[in-house]
């Protein structure tokens, strides 16, 4: 196996663990590369943010390969996860506590088909206030954590495919192939609204980013071992 040129330019497919930010992954890999090659700095970036409460594929680029990041960011993504129905949270996921509860909807195959049809193709989606979206030079979550009101404009995104299954009376599992910029947390919230109930995301894993799949991904520790052996 030929050695990977981390110092001059490489693409790494990382399986991000829960509770790490995408930037945490960048910082750790950059530190290990600088340490191994005894250099002071190197360009390392990621091709698409993944929330701390999500796991799965994060694509990193080093050195000259960072020039390809814009292209990689624009590629579609695929996720699997679970949506809890009957309740909402301000962050649309488990980052914040439940703030409201609603009656549970009746779920059957016809209902699931209606959801998939309603949320397929080009849709308008309002990002979560607890997100990294920039508003007037600040991140949306900075407003949210300071209890400041801010209006987020809807974005047009594309849902290429949405498959849903009933796990139990208050939980749906999903497999979603979507365009860049899609907030799965917002999708969970909107599905709850569509069902005249509430909904929030309770688990999320990115299984594909462009042509890079979870089967290709290595853990952070595995990448560190590969760096040390290069």
**Is residue 53, in this structure, part of any structural domain at all?**
yes
CB atoms within 10 A of CB 66: 18
Count up the domains in the chain and report the number: 2
Are residues 167 and 224 located together in one domain of the fold?
no
> 152 and 91, same structural domain?
yes
Instruction: Please report whether residue 138 resides in a domain.
Output: yes
Residue positions annotated with a catalytic role? 51
Q: What is the pTM of this model?
A: 0.93
DSSP structural state of residue 216? G
Positive or negative CA dihedral for 221, 222, 225, 230? negative
Full domain range(s) for residue 49: 9-73+210-229
Phi and psi for 8 in degrees, rounded to 5? -95, -30
Q: What are phi and psi of 180, to 5 degrees?
A: -60, 150
CB neighbours (10 Å) of residue 99? 12
Same domain, 116 and 180: yes
Q: Are 213 and 77 in contact (CB under 8 A)?
A: no
In a domain, 3, yes or no: no
Mean pLDDT by 10 residues, the chain (230 residues): 84 98 97 96 95 96 96 97 97 96 97 98 91 77 76 92 97 98 97 98 98 98 95
- 2 domain residue, yes or no: no
How does pLDDT run across 146-192, given as a tens digit for each residue? 777 777 889 999 999 999 999 999 999 999 999 999 999 999 999 99
Residue 219 in any domain: the answer is yes
């Amino acid at each position: 196996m030929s050695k990977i040129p981390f110092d001059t330019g490489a693409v790494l497919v990382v399986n991000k663990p829960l509770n790490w930010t995408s930037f945490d992954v960048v910082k750790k890999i950059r530190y290990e590369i600088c340490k191994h090659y005894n250099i002071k700095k190197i360009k390392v970036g990621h091709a698409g943010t993944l929330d701390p409460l999500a796991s799965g594929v994060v694509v990193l680029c080093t050195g000259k390969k960072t020039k390809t990041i814009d292209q990689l960011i624009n590629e579609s993504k695929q996720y699997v996860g679970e949506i809890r129905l009957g309740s909402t949270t301000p962050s649309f996921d488990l980052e914040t506590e439940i703030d409201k509860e609603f009656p549970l909807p009746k779920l059957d195959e016809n209902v699931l088909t209606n959801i998939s049809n309603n949320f397929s193709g080009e849709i308008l989606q309002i990002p979560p206030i607890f997100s990294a979206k920039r508003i007037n030079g600040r991140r949306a979550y900075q407003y949210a954590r300071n209890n400041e009101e801010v209006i987020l404009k809807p974005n047009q995104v594309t849902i290429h495919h949405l498959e849903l299954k009933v796990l139990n009376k208050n939980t749906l599992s999903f497999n979603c192939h979507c365009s860049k910029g899609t907030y799965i947390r917002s999708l969970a919230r909107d599905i709850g609204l569509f069902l005249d109930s509430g909904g929030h995301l309770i688990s999320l894993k990115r299984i594909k980013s462009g042509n890079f799949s979870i089967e290709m991904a290595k853990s952070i520790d595995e990448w560190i071992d590969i760096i040390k052996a290069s």
